[in-house]
Homo-oligomer: A and B are copies of this chain.
Amino acid sequence: MEGSKSCSQTDTIGKVVIIAAGPGNRLSNDGRLKPLRRVLGLTLIERVVISCMQAGLSDFVVVTGYKGEFLRRPIERIVRCRCVHIDIVENPDWKKGNGTSLLACRHLLDKPFVLVMCDHLFEPDLLRDLLQARPSNGDSVLAVDRRVDRVFDIADATKVAIESRRIVAIGKEIETFDAVDTGVFLLTPQIFGALHAAQKKGGYSLSDGVREIVEKRQVLAFDIGEKFWLDVDTPQSLKRAKRVLLSGLTKPSEDGFVSHYINRRLSIKLSGWLSHLPISPHAITVASFAMALAAAFLFAATNTLSAVIGGFLVQISSIIDGCDGEIARLKHCGSRYGAWMDTVLDRYADVAIAAGITYGYWAVHHQPWVWLAGMVALAGFVMPSFCRKEYQLRFLKSLPIDVLTKLTKRDLRLFAIFSGALVGLQFEAILAVGLISHVYVARNLLAQYRRGIPGA
């Protein structure tokens, strides 16, 4: 569980309250309940739960209202799949205002707690930093965004005015404001008294309750800086959420040239589509592997067309090979097993492709050196990765990454084969890539020796 890694401050935070009681009619005019609206394969409420988990929290209260009975089973599924505790509290008064929803779970909250909205996506670091910034005097904290010009729907946003880190006014219609309310709160049970006080004045919203403690200067503003949050309220904001989640899938530091400029752009698009289907990352890994095997057979058949098709299959396999990890990260269902299996099968796929291409070339040229050269290439497909892993295990750090490293990575290897196959030079392509790989290994052995690591 992520919880064990969190800062010690979170130990004193009891629960996370997720308000999922409103109808949210702007988004769900198709009849779907808003908390169950899917964003790239996961429901909004599951994404909120996962963000809290990644910030170190695992004890939840979900307040339901509008059509709450339809939420029960999906929430039970989250409990099962994510290993969290969730109490469900029904709020029959949800129509009056969202303040009544928080009051409905009052009996479960005797310690400071986090309050979030079921339709407000946010990155885990936002909540993690909020928990770190918690004041010792028991004041409440509201995460606010000072980038008011960038807020999606400013008219509908709850605004706040801030004076020396304290919130001095809150509401949708205040005239001068410094930031907007992100919907992520750190509250103490004093909010319940405030909500009652607001109700007596006829205010039933959460903002009405918060305003009561704001007037006592007991609410700090926590500036989220550049962190991501989004009120998924309209079809446009839903699209934006998807865009942000997908753009987070690039790995600029790890990706090779081809991966960065070609594969990742296509695989992210593909992952966006695939995320809506019930396809596991494992299945994608196996599909990519099968495609590479099919390519190997096509290369072994000695006609030009099949080699070109094989080349395309290799490149498509390379692109799909990115999707398993992307889906795993998008749906938060990655496993170490999956990553391990993917790496092992990739090696087998490369070996099969090398064997297939070598056979195809030999079938035309009938020279034994073809096979020996093919073996050299085949070994070159495995050794750089082996060399890097062994280094990492011995030195507990990675080999330095440079241009030569990127030339030995799988994305470039498969792209070279694809390009070669288009012009009938797939054998030459594997030889070139194989030789570069061996140069890479030799260079590293010598460079590390010269760097005097022997005494390390």
Contact = CB atoms under 8 A, between A and B. Distances in A.
A21 to B, nearest CB: 32
A336 B394 CA distance: 6
Interface string A341-383: 1011001100100110011001100001001101110110011
Contacts of A339: 394
Given A347-B383, A371-B362, A372-B355, A335 B454 contact: yes
B386 A453 contact: no
Contacts of A391: 340
**Chain copies in the assembled complex:** 2
A393 B336 CA distance: 10
A351 B336 contact: no
A335 B394 CA distance: 10
Contacts of A348: 379, 383
Contact of A372 (B335, B347, B359): B359
Q: Which of A338, A390, A441 has the most CB of B within 10 A?
A: A390
Nearest to A370: B371
A430 to B, nearest CB: 12
A416 to B, nearest CB: 20
Interface string A319-341: 00000000000000001111111
Contacts of A70: none
B351 A375 contact: yes
A380 to B, nearest CB: 10
Contact of A344 (B336, B344, B354, B387): B387
Contacts of A448: 337, 340
Contacts of A454: 282, 335, 337-338
B387 A386 contact: no
Nearest to A379: B351
A343 B359 CA distance: 30
A146 B34 CA distance: 78
A395 B282 CA distance: 17
A389 interface: yes
A449 interface: yes
A279 to B, nearest CB: 14
Contacts of A453: 335-337
Contacts of A368: 359, 362-363
A389 B344 CA distance: 10
Nearest to A369: B359
A53 to B, nearest CB: 14
Nearest to A390: B343
Closest 3 CB pairs of A and B: A371-B371, A337-B453, A336-B394
Given A336-B453, A340-B390, A344-B386, 14 more contacts: A338-B454, A341-B445, A344-B383, A344-B441, A348-B383, A354-B375, A355-B376, A359-B372, A375-B375, A378-B378, A379-B382, A385-B386, A389-B393, A393-B393
